[in-house]
């Protein structure tokens, strides 16, 4: 199952990596991720994830973080629609 | 709470002096640590501050002592170390507190801000390393932030589900100067209040159930809800089992208590869980050591899950009714009727008789379970038992009697060998009026044996009961049963003379081997003046029974050694 998470969180040092680390550690693959700081009061993060685990559990685990202000969760029907203009990956040889 | 000195406005203070002041304003009186390069400004400010610092002899010892202190006081235990190896040595203790929801504040020195990220001497990203095992963490970037960060750290560590909070303090901050700036009140999430409909539904389900059972978890002690829980059980007549960390929530001898469940739980408890039709889980989290094979755990039961942490609901087992709340008000609000079902209670009682512990084990040596039972028959009222990890830990859980969960400190989630001695130090510092007994094994004691020096340095009166089977007993037992006796790296025939080791550290000690010596030796241990060690040699092939094999359902427990019948 794929989900989009819209996470609003503090701009403090470590907040983004704390949230992203939790997502992977709790068994969700990161598919897309974008972070912005629209008005200086906090960060806005949109993440698409994939997992066999329930998304609402991840939402509650993220909401436990002190840096996180809010989390919205939406199931995503198809991952294709979520991947804008993907470039092929070139590995370093 | 405010025991601070008066600070003149605009008084110039070092960051370290501000930190010490902030610790005092948060009620700290005692803490544990080890100095080193980058934390030296704080140790400089410590002199004459009025705070009592206990120098442990390894940073892991300091962190686990802070854990023991935090458990018995329900207030953050504090530990401190320098950057680099000092900080990394704390990691096991931090993880231990995280897994068992123990309030703790950890302060680490850090290289100066300008050197961070340059691979400086003793630089390590402790903030990054500990991200998965802290409730929250900070790197201090401004001296002016210290009071706010310390206040927040203490409140976060205790608020809701407790946990460890780390403060990383670069040396330019601790050595720089500034003024005290009062922190604004910390913004913390409000305690959740139970959904009224869920409470009503829980009451209805409990009233309707034919075979209802309650699991008492560690959260009941953490939230100081023991009395309310006991009142709930007294009012409803429901039978109760407990997780490892829930032991003592009901007195061991209480008629409603069917014993600990899980891998080394009592048969009565495991049969009750597997046969109940309604399971009310209070402050517990369906740990795999408690549930056994999850899909077969309490298969015919509906679940009422009561916990303060919403992220525990339906994490492993789907809750039919979830109550996210402080435990005490929810327990008071659940008012079922006719919950004492005579047939079911009679069945639980019959299981208790069938699976009552036996102490007639064959063998000529000292039988550790019997010694523990006998110790608890002569124990003082205010005894706290700390454990290490292994066979002795399970024997303590099975055979000691507890009247309160804070009488039993055990590393439940992380299973940290080496926990017992430093935890005992923390518990004794926090509760000097208690008799603190550290039950350990010959494997575990060596993990933090250096803390014998801490006992001696401060005259901390901890009694060590050391079971020595010349083996890593629980691993040896598993190799015997699940690896066809292919023993690999478990024999400790070359153990040191433990009584001699204790004496070398200035701790009085005795060694016993014969069963007839045991009672007198335990009496000597409990009544000795000051710290003491009783070294007890036991059969190296003794096993812990029953045992639910990994991946099996709880009712499929093995009750004795299939080969030796013991």
Q: Chain B contacts of A54, Cβ < 8 Å? A: 314
| pLDDT for the residue B3 | 47
pLDDT over 50 (residue B144): yes
Residue pair B249/B220 in contact by the 8 Å Cβ criterion: yes
Q: For B552-563, what is each residue's pLDDT tens digit?
A: 999 899 987 654
Pairing of strands B212-216, B240-242: parallel
Instruction: State residue B137 phi and psi, 5-degree precision.
Output: -155, 160
Grouping H, G, I as helix, E, B as strand and the rest as coil, residue A78 is coil
- In this prediction, residues B113-122 reach a mean pLDDT of 97
Q: What was the ipTM of the complex prediction? A: 0.92
The domain of A47 spans 2-78
Q: At B172, which helix (H) or strand (E)?
A: helix B171-175
Q: What angle do CA B397, B559, B464 make, to 5 degrees?
A: 30
Sheet holding B508-512, edge to edge: B408-409, B383-387, B435-441, B462-468, B532-537, B508-512
| pLDDT for the residue B564 | 52
Which residue of A lies nearest to B131 if distances are taken between CA atoms?
Answer: A18
User: Is residue A93 domain-resident?
Assistant: no
Choose, out of A66, A68, A71, A73, the residue to mutate when testing the contact with B (most B CBs < 10 Å): A66
**d(Cα B35, Cα B130) in Å, to the nearest integer?**
20
pLDDT: is B4 or B493 the higher one?
B493
* CA-to-CA dists, residue B135 to B155, B163, B308, B520, angstroms: 11, 5, 15, 46
- In this prediction, residues B281-289 reach a mean pLDDT of 95
**d(Cα A42, Cα B161) in Å, to the nearest integer?**
25
pLDDT over 50 (residue B418): yes
Report the residue count for chain B. Answer: 566
**Would you place residue A79 in the very low, low, confident or very high pLDDT band (cuts 50, 70, 90)?**
low
| pLDDT for the residue B176 | 98
**Which residues of B, range 439-498, sit inside 8 Å of A by Cβ?**
none
Nearest-by-Cβ selection for A25 from B132, B135, B314: B132
User: Is residue A46 domain-resident?
Assistant: yes
| pLDDT for the residue A82 | 52
**Would you place residue B339 in the very low, low, confident or very high pLDDT band (cuts 50, 70, 90)?**
very high
Whole-number average pLDDT of chain B: 95
| pLDDT for the residue B526 | 97
**Which residues of B, range 110-129, sit inside 8 Å of A by Cβ?**
127-128
Residue pair B83/B107 in contact by the 8 Å Cβ criterion: no
pLDDT over 80 (residue A87): no
Q: First CA to last CA across chain B, in angstroms?
A: 55
pLDDT over 70 (residue B273): yes
**Would you place residue B565 in the very low, low, confident or very high pLDDT band (cuts 50, 70, 90)?**
very low
Q: For A52-78, what is each residue's pLDDT tens digit?
A: 999 999 999 999 999 999 999 999 976
Q: Do A14 and B310 touch (CB under 8 A)?
A: no
Q: Do B132 and A22 touch (CB under 8 A)?
A: yes
- In this prediction, residues B170-188 reach a mean pLDDT of 93
Closest Cα in chain A, distance from residue B192 (Å): 12
- In this prediction, residues B391-416 reach a mean pLDDT of 98
Grouping H, G, I as helix, E, B as strand and the rest as coil, residue B215 is strand
Q: Do A61 and B156 touch (CB under 8 A)?
A: no
Q: For B183-226, what is each residue's pLDDT tens digit?
A: 888 888 888 999 999 999 999 999 999 999 999 999 999 999 99
| pLDDT for the residue B172 | 98
Kindly state the DSSP code that residue B90 receives in the 8-state scheme: H
Whole-number average pLDDT of chain A: 91
Domains and CATH numbers, chain B: 13-178 (3.40.50.970), 196-354 (3.40.50.1220), 368-545 (3.40.50.970)
Give the number of A-B residue pairs with CB atoms closer than 8 Å. 33
Q: For B81-111, what is each residue's pLDDT tens digit?
A: 999 999 999 999 999 999 999 999 999 999 9
Q: What angle do CA B240, B243, B248 make, to 5 degrees?
A: 70
- In this prediction, residues B290-301 reach a mean pLDDT of 93
Which residue of A lies nearest to B155 if distances are taken between CA atoms?
Answer: A66
User: Is residue A71 domain-resident?
Assistant: yes
Grouping H, G, I as helix, E, B as strand and the rest as coil, residue B132 is helix
Which residue of A lies nearest to B125 if distances are taken between CA atoms?
Answer: A14
- What total number of domains does chain A contain? 1
pLDDT over 90 (residue A39): no
pLDDT over 80 (residue B327): yes
User: Is residue A83 domain-resident?
Assistant: no
Kindly state the DSSP code that residue B186 receives in the 8-state scheme: P
Sign of the torsion angle spanned by Cα atoms B7, B9, B15, B19: positive
| pLDDT for the residue A86 | 65
**d(Cα B11, Cα B450) in Å, to the nearest integer?**
41
| pLDDT for the residue B452 | 98
**d(Cα B363, Cα B539) in Å, to the nearest integer?**
8
Q: What percent of chain B has pLDDT over 90?
A: 93
Q: What percent of chain B has pLDDT over 70?
A: 98
| pLDDT for the residue B561 | 60
User: Is residue A89 domain-resident?
Assistant: no
Q: For B429-453, what is each residue's pLDDT tens digit?
A: 999 999 999 999 999 999 999 999 9
Q: What is the CATH number of the domain that holds A29?
A: 3.30.70.260
User: Is residue A43 domain-resident?
Assistant: yes
| pLDDT for the residue B39 | 98
Sign of the torsion angle spanned by Cα atoms B88, B93, B99, B103: negative
Q: Do A66 and B132 touch (CB under 8 A)?
A: no
Q: For B39-73, what is each residue's pLDDT tens digit?
A: 999 999 999 999 999 999 999 999 999 999 999 99
pLDDT over 80 (residue B535): yes
User: Is residue A91 domain-resident?
Assistant: no
- In this prediction, residues B382-405 reach a mean pLDDT of 97
| pLDDT for the residue A77 | 78
Report the candidate in B211, B285, B360, B272 with the shortest Cα–Cα distance to residue B260.
B272
Report the candidate in B10, B11, B12, B54 with the shortest Cα–Cα distance to residue B32.
B54
Which residue of B lies nearest to A18 if distances are taken between CA atoms?
Answer: B131
Q: At B138, which helix (H) or strand (E)?
A: strand B136-139
Burial code (b: 16+ CB inside 10 Å, e: under 16) for B238-265 equals bbbbbbbbbbbbbebeeebbbbbbbbbb
| pLDDT for the residue B364 | 86
């Amino acid at each position: 199952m794929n989900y989009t998470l819209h996470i609003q969180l503090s701009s403090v040092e470590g907040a983004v990596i704390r949230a992203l680390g939790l997502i992977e550690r709790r068994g969700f693959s990161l598919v897309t991720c974008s972070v912005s700081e629209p008005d200086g009061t906090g960060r806005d993060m949109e993440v698409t994830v994939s997992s066999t685990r329930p998304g609402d559990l991840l939402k509650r685990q993220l909401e436990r973080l002190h840096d996180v202000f809010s989390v919205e969760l939406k199931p995503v029907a198809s991952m294709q629609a979520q991947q804008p203009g993907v470039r092929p990956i070139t590995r370093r040889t | 709470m405010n025991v601070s000195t008066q600070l003149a406005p605009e008084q110039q203070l070092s960051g370290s002096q501000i930190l010490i002041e902030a610790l005092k304003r948060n009620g700290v009186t005692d803490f544990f640590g080890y100095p080193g390069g980058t934390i030296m400004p704080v140790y400089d400010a410590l002199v004459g501050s009025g705070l009592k610092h206990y120098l442990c002899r390894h940073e892991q010892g300091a962190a686990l002592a802070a854990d023991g202190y935090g458990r018995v006081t329900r207030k953050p235990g504090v530990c401190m170390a320098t950057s680099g190896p000092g900080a990394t040595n704390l990691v096991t203790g931090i993880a231990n507190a995280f897994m068992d929801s123990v309030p703790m504040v950890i302060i680490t020195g850090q290289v100066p801000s300008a050197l961070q990220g340059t691979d400086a001497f003793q630089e390590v990203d402790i903030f990054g390393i500990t991200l998965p095992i802290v409730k929250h963490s900070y790197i201090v970037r401004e001296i002016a932030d210290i009071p706010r960060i310390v206040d927040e750290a203490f409140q976060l560590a205790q608020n809701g589900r407790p946990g460890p909070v780390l403060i990383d303090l670069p040396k330019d901050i601790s050595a720089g100067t500034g003024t005290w700036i009062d922190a604004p009140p910390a913004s913390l999430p409000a305690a959740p209040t139970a959904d009224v409909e869920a409470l009503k539904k829980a009451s209805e389900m409990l009233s309707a159930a034919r075979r209802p059972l309650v699991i008492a978890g560690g959260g009941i002690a953490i939230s100081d809800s023991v009395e309310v829980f006991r009142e709930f059980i007294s009012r409803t007549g429901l039978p109760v089992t407990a997780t490892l960390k829930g032991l003592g929530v009901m007195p061991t001898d209480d008629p409603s208590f069917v014993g600990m469940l899980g891998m080394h739980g009592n048969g009565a408890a495991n049969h009750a869980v597997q046969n109940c039709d309604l399971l009310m889980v209070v402050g517990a989290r369906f740990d795999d050591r408690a549930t056994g094979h999850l899909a077969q755990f309490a298969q015919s039961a509906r679940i009422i899950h009561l916990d303060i942490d919403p992220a525990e609901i339906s994490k492993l087992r789907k809750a039919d009714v979830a109550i996210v709340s402080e435990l005490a008000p929810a327990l008071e609000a659940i008012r079922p009727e006719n919950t004492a079902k005579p047939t079911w209670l009679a069945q639980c009682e019959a299981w208790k008789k069938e699976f009552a512990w036996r102490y007639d084990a064959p063998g000529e040596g000292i039988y550790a379970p019997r010694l523990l039972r006998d110790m608890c028959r002569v124990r003082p009222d205010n005894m706290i038992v700390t454990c290490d990890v292994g066979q002795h830990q399970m024997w303590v859980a099975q055979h000691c009697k507890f009247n309160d969960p804070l009488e039993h400190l055990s590393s439940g989630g992380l299973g940290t060998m080496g926990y017992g001695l430093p935890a005992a130090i923390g518990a004794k510092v926090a509760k000097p009026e208690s008799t603190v007994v550290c039950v350990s094994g010959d494997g575990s004691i060596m993990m933090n044996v250096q803390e014998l020096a801490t006992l001696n340095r401060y005259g901390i009166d901890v009694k060590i009961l050391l079971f020595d089977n010349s083996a890593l007993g629980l691993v040896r037992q598993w190799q015997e049963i699940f690896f066809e006796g292919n023993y690999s790296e478990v024999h400790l025939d070359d153990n040191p003379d433990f009584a001699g080791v204790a004496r070398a550290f200035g701790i009085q000690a005795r060694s016993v081997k014969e069963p007839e010596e045991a009672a007198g030796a335990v009496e000597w241990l409990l009544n000795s003046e000051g710290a003491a060690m009783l070294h007890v040699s036991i059969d190296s092939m003794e096993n812990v029974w029953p045992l639910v094999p990994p991946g099996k359902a709880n009712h499929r427990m093995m009750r004795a050694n299939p080969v030796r019948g013991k």
